[in-house]
Amino acid sequence: MTRTSLITGASKGIGLALSHRLASDGHRVIGVARNLTVGCPGQLHTLERDAVRPITERG
């Protein structure tokens, strides 16, 4: 059975390293990040700029 892992911050640092580790262990990786970068295994989805601002800053 293949496990699916959702990783936040998957475009760099610990999130990227964890994505690679889980993918090498056979996990299906879905990453979420503010920036789209090459190198993240699996699917990488970016967040809209408004989605990462605190609620108090939204229009």
User: What confidence score (pLDDT) does residue 54 get?
Assistant: 53
Give the span between the Cα atoms of 34 and 9, in whole angstroms.
7
Evaluate whether 34 touches 11 at the Cβ level (below 8 Å).
yes
Per-residue pLDDT tens, the chain, 59 aa: give them: 889 999 988 888 999 999 999 999 999 998 888 877 777 788 887 776 555 555 455 45
Give the span between the Cα atoms of 12 and 40, in whole angstroms.
8
- CB count in 10 Å sphere of residue 29: 23
Evaluate whether 46 touches 35 at the Cβ level (below 8 Å).
yes
Provide the H-helix boundaries in 1-59: 13-24, 49-52
